[in-house]
A and B are shown apart, each in its own frame.
Chain A
């Protein structure tokens, strides 16, 4: 009983101050009065009830006080709408942008593949430091599978595989082009993916020679089969061949490497007629490096030990395969990278990427919070008299601190709501800006719920944290002068290194860092991606054909492409026509490793170059002069790329320089592991749509390409003076040649370039917006601080004016303080931004080009600090002008 009473007393002490003041003694008294009676009547249960009752009441009382605080805070905010609005907008912008970056970049990059139970244990082979994936032959994958101590499973797959799909009962309609993956039957078990309905593929059930089956994605089922309940067992025609749907993949599962979403999963056991990718018996060709290997690490195996183990296996296999023994180098053969995300990120790049995003989000949110803090400090100072009165009439310091904290909390909560709304809006906007890739991107709107929690958490932490310091400072007031002098007294905050000044310097520094970093990116990106064609981009029509997947044989396809230019010449004022495996300036080409062949003095090293396959007259059609040698001609298109003969190749300048230094490249040879090439021509470097110019080797289109066109089909470039009007003429002509041919992606070059760059432009706008945001916040903060400082020094200024100080002197006095803060912040921010850019570009190749351009741009390096300083000084000047308007008589009489 005594123990219960002891606890009761302790709890009664814990009531909020206000409650204790009024009811504390009585609650205590009543407890003491009744405890005996309760023990007698109800026993131990009664005592427990007594304790539970008070234990529950204490937090309830705090909540109710908080509600009161909030109500008061609400009224206070409504009374100063300017302050509230600026606070809410700056918090909203900060939280909204952070949430947006988190959902659109962070979550997409680092989120595990949905529905894949083994996501954390998946690894893939990496080809180069840039994170290109290495393809291997199926034979290698079979050997990898034997390494049971390293991997629990190894699946082979090909991604971005187009299928022309005809639906049951819709034979007359045109087939739809759908992208999927060719997968080994163990693919789903390696990923750890369970079917939503039906079954997934498995080695036991799917054997070569069986009737073709297919697993469809949820998106395919929803959008193309209208969520039909009897989808399982239905048949589809894939590239003209019948396949039965056996299962639906789980929701949100779009295959491995889901950055290119897959809708169909076709086993590699199907006949080559269904998938031209499987022609020429690629499954048994040791040299056919067509497959990606998805490996699931065995328990207890780290990525490093798997890498070492796999390296020795690969080395042995490479040595056995005699064909490429000459090219073997001594270094590592195998690099693994984690593959359980939508886009595999090399381990070396990940820290830079995370660092960059954290820095970006951190800077934005820090800026917003510092702004809030600054405003709260200034406000606290202006309310000094109010606080002093409340302290004088008996409010506890804790009470006042809590009051101001709840104002901060309310402000940032409202900011959090505004921010979430902003993030939502940006997310919707984002989803409209999916880049036009060959494989259609998922444009579903996506807002990570983590981001929402993150935003609100952040909002509250900021609100409480940053109002605590100003609140404590504001209540550390000596009451007498505060009451006597009102708000015009010398403050503890007016010190050289006061909290306020430090915050201000930090804010200027952070906003300059943000401005410069985003500026580097914006400048870099926009400078690079500006493609200048030598002719009117409207006068070129691009379209693609894929006759093999429309049911044609490889021979017929070859014949079609041979006669096509002649037929299209008749469609109007056509200047020239060329074929290519990809649209011009595309960024979606493959990278390959080549070495210079037996030329003394030049390097034998494997060099990564981009491989573009183009037809006869390609450069003439683009009005690009061949700098030396010749470009491809008709006969080149008939050569067989089977390794038996040397093929002609054209290098761009940087590739030629890489292989042969400054010497003449014409007539020299380069080779990959299958094929040797003779350099017959040299062209200048052309930038791709993303603005990168890289070493490129141009190879001729060969019958192999016609038999197995790339994912986007074979692209036909038609330069016609008719411009857009050529579109329908070409369409009619194609229909005349073969009514079954599907015309893909028909558009003018102008439209193509515009669409390809829209995503880029959008990110430029986003980054630019962030930079401007930082600038605006810094200006708001500075203006607030200066206004506050002027208010504080009202009396001092009045005395100076009365003693004859000129207006300019008074203005200078006020501005000098602001200028010192701005200067200090600018220097720090400048150094910080340069340092951060260096770190980021040292770690990640992907930023190097953009950042290099930006960091070398004097306009940016000089302009950004000047712009910030100018805006900052303007923000100081506007409130500082008020100082000269102070009427000395009035100000001095106020006491």
Chain B
């Protein structure tokens, strides 16, 4: 099988980026992803339920994330929930996107520097 180039997914859609980012720390279920994004952005970004699962479905189809078989300890586990984690490709895409954003920020900084000088 041919390797898929992570660059092909760049730039990422906002929701995709947030989902990938919240899975970067480890596997997570849908509700967890939503809460994580909400907390991380201090309530500025909310992934609405239908959009969240629509995006998860497409991320799975694109092989950026996958369903995880590992369940947390039984007392923490909610049997109804599925857990998701990044694939290698997903991690690559996230890295590429972060790099792109950093590049962007650098450009802005330089530009601002020029303006203030």
Contact between chains at A53 and B53 (CB < 8 Å): no
Contact between chains at A49 and B48 (CB < 8 Å): yes
Contact between chains at A54 and B49 (CB < 8 Å): yes
| Chain B neighbourhood of A54, CB < 8 A | 48-50
Q: Does A61 have its Cβ within 8 Å of any Cβ on chain B?
A: yes
| Chain A neighbourhood of B53, CB < 8 A | 23, 26-27, 30
Which one of A30, A31, A54, A60 has the highest number of Cβ atoms from chain B below 10 Å of its Cβ? A30
Contact between chains at A33 and B31 (CB < 8 Å): yes
> How far is B50's CA from A85's CA once the two chains are assembled, in angstroms?
41
A636-651 interface mask toward B, CB cutoff 8 Å, 1 = contact, 0 = none? 0000000000000000
Q: Does B25 have its Cβ within 8 Å of any Cβ on chain A?
A: no
Contact between chains at A30 and B34 (CB < 8 Å): yes
26 contacts between A and B (CB under 8 A): A12-B50, A22-B57, A25-B80, A26-B30, A26-B53, A26-B80, A27-B53, A29-B31, A29-B80, A29-B81, A30-B30, A30-B31, A30-B34, A30-B49, A30-B52, A30-B53, A34-B31, A34-B34, A34-B49, A41-B43, A49-B48, A53-B49, A53-B51, A54-B48, A54-B49, A57-B50
Give the nearest-CB partner of A52 in chain B: B48
Q: Does B93 have its Cβ within 8 Å of any Cβ on chain A?
A: no
Contact between chains at B50 and A27 (CB < 8 Å): yes
Q: A30-B49, A53-B49 are in contact. List 12 more A-B contacts (CB 8 A).
A: A19-B57, A22-B57, A26-B30, A26-B82, A27-B53, A29-B81, A30-B30, A34-B31, A49-B48, A53-B48, A53-B50, A54-B48
Shortest beta-carbon distance from A5 to chain B in Å = 12
> How far is B80's CA from A799's CA once the two chains are assembled, in angstroms?
56
> How far is B81's CA from A423's CA once the two chains are assembled, in angstroms?
56
Contact between chains at B50 and A26 (CB < 8 Å): no
> How far is B52's CA from A293's CA once the two chains are assembled, in angstroms?
71
| Chain A neighbourhood of B82, CB < 8 A | 26
Q: Does B23 have its Cβ within 8 Å of any Cβ on chain A?
A: no
Q: Does B8 have its Cβ within 8 Å of any Cβ on chain A?
A: no
B54-91 interface mask toward A, CB cutoff 8 Å, 1 = contact, 0 = none? 10111000000000000000000000111000000000
Shortest beta-carbon distance from A578 to chain B in Å = 82
Q: Does A564 have its Cβ within 8 Å of any Cβ on chain B?
A: no
Shortest beta-carbon distance from B24 to chain A in Å = 21
Q: Does A359 have its Cβ within 8 Å of any Cβ on chain B?
A: no
Contact between chains at B54 and A57 (CB < 8 Å): yes
> How far is B54's CA from A283's CA once the two chains are assembled, in angstroms?
79
Which one of A11, A34, A50 has the highest number of Cβ atoms from chain B below 10 Å of its Cβ? A34
| Chain A neighbourhood of B50, CB < 8 A | 11-12, 27, 53-54, 56-58
> How far is B48's CA from A31's CA once the two chains are assembled, in angstroms?
9
| Chain B neighbourhood of A57, CB < 8 A | 50-51, 54
Give the nearest-CB partner of B29 in chain A: A26
Give how many A residues have a beta carbon under 8 Å from the other chain's beta carbons.
24
Contact between chains at A23 and B57 (CB < 8 Å): yes
Contact between chains at B48 and A50 (CB < 8 Å): yes
| Chain B neighbourhood of A64, CB < 8 A | 58
Give the nearest-CB partner of B82 in chain A: A26
Which one of A33, A41, A53 has the highest number of Cβ atoms from chain B below 10 Å of its Cβ? A53
* With A29-B80, A49-B48 as contacts: A23 and B56 at CB distance below 8 Å: yes
A291-315 interface mask toward B, CB cutoff 8 Å, 1 = contact, 0 = none? 0000000000000000000000000
> How far is B52's CA from A34's CA once the two chains are assembled, in angstroms?
13
Shortest beta-carbon distance from B28 to chain A in Å = 13
| Chain B neighbourhood of A23, CB < 8 A | 53, 56-57
| Chain A neighbourhood of B49, CB < 8 A | 27, 30-31, 34, 50, 53-54
Which 4 pairs between the two chains have the least Cβ-Cβ distance? A57-B50, A53-B48, A54-B50, A30-B49
> How far is B114's CA from A304's CA once the two chains are assembled, in angstroms?
84
| Chain B neighbourhood of A31, CB < 8 A | 49
> How far is B13's CA from A708's CA once the two chains are assembled, in angstroms?
79
Give the nearest-CB partner of B47 in chain A: A53
Give the nearest-CB partner of A68 in chain B: B61
| Chain B neighbourhood of A26, CB < 8 A | 30, 53, 80-82
* With A27-B49, A30-B34, A53-B49 as contacts: A60 and B54 at CB distance below 8 Å: yes
B30-51 interface mask toward A, CB cutoff 8 Å, 1 = contact, 0 = none? 1100100000000100001111
Shortest beta-carbon distance from A423 to chain B in Å = 39
Within 8 A of B (CB), among A384-425: none
Shortest beta-carbon distance from A33 to chain B in Å = 6
| Chain A neighbourhood of B56, CB < 8 A | 23
> How far is B60's CA from A886's CA once the two chains are assembled, in angstroms?
48
Give the nearest-CB partner of B67 in chain A: A22
| Chain B neighbourhood of A49, CB < 8 A | 48
B85-103 interface mask toward A, CB cutoff 8 Å, 1 = contact, 0 = none? 0000000000000000000
> How far is B35's CA from A33's CA once the two chains are assembled, in angstroms?
11
| Chain A neighbourhood of B81, CB < 8 A | 26, 29
Give the nearest-CB partner of A8 in chain B: B49
> How far is B57's CA from A836's CA once the two chains are assembled, in angstroms?
57
> How far is B49's CA from A761's CA once the two chains are assembled, in angstroms?
67
Shortest beta-carbon distance from B22 to chain A in Å = 15
Shortest beta-carbon distance from A551 to chain B in Å = 76
Shortest beta-carbon distance from B114 to chain A in Å = 41
> How far is B54's CA from A60's CA once the two chains are assembled, in angstroms?
9
| Chain B neighbourhood of A53, CB < 8 A | 48-51
Which one of B49, B58, B82 has the highest number of Cβ atoms from chain A below 10 Å of its Cβ? B49
Which one of B43, B53, B81 has the highest number of Cβ atoms from chain A below 10 Å of its Cβ? B53
> How far is B82's CA from A64's CA once the two chains are assembled, in angstroms?
22
| Chain A neighbourhood of B48, CB < 8 A | 49-50, 53-54
Give the nearest-CB partner of A58 in chain B: B50
Which one of B50, B51, B80 has the highest number of Cβ atoms from chain A below 10 Å of its Cβ? B50
Shortest beta-carbon distance from A785 to chain B in Å = 40
Shortest beta-carbon distance from B98 to chain A in Å = 27
Give the nearest-CB partner of A19 in chain B: B57
A219-263 interface mask toward B, CB cutoff 8 Å, 1 = contact, 0 = none? 000000000000000000000000000000000000000000000
Give the nearest-CB partner of A26 in chain B: B30
> How far is B80's CA from A19's CA once the two chains are assembled, in angstroms?
16
| Chain A neighbourhood of B54, CB < 8 A | 57, 60-61
> How far is B47's CA from A57's CA once the two chains are assembled, in angstroms?
13
| Chain A neighbourhood of B51, CB < 8 A | 53, 57
Give the nearest-CB partner of A28 in chain B: B49
Give the nearest-CB partner of A24 in chain B: B53
> How far is B47's CA from A54's CA once the two chains are assembled, in angstroms?
12
> How far is B54's CA from A56's CA once the two chains are assembled, in angstroms?
11
> How far is B53's CA from A727's CA once the two chains are assembled, in angstroms?
84
Shortest beta-carbon distance from B64 to chain A in Å = 16
| Chain B neighbourhood of A58, CB < 8 A | 50
Shortest beta-carbon distance from A8 to chain B in Å = 8
| Chain A neighbourhood of B30, CB < 8 A | 26, 30
Give the nearest-CB partner of A35 in chain B: B49
| Chain B neighbourhood of A29, CB < 8 A | 31, 80-81
Give the nearest-CB partner of B53 in chain A: A23
> How far is B50's CA from A578's CA once the two chains are assembled, in angstroms?
88
> How far is B34's CA from A34's CA once the two chains are assembled, in angstroms?
10
| Chain A neighbourhood of B43, CB < 8 A | 41
| Chain B neighbourhood of A25, CB < 8 A | 80
> How far is B48's CA from A26's CA once the two chains are assembled, in angstroms?
13
Which one of B52, B56, B58 has the highest number of Cβ atoms from chain A below 10 Å of its Cβ? B52
Give the nearest-CB partner of A12 in chain B: B50
Within 8 A of B (CB), among A1-48: 11-12, 19, 22-23, 25-27, 29-31, 33-34, 41
Give the nearest-CB partner of B81 in chain A: A26
Shortest beta-carbon distance from B94 to chain A in Å = 22
Shortest beta-carbon distance from B48 to chain A in Å = 4
Which one of A11, A26, A34, A58 has the highest number of Cβ atoms from chain B below 10 Å of its Cβ? A26
> How far is B54's CA from A58's CA once the two chains are assembled, in angstroms?
9
> How far is B81's CA from A26's CA once the two chains are assembled, in angstroms?
7
| Chain B neighbourhood of A19, CB < 8 A | 57
Within 8 A of A (CB), among B4-22: none
> How far is B34's CA from A30's CA once the two chains are assembled, in angstroms?
9
Give the nearest-CB partner of B60 in chain A: A22
| Chain B neighbourhood of A33, CB < 8 A | 31
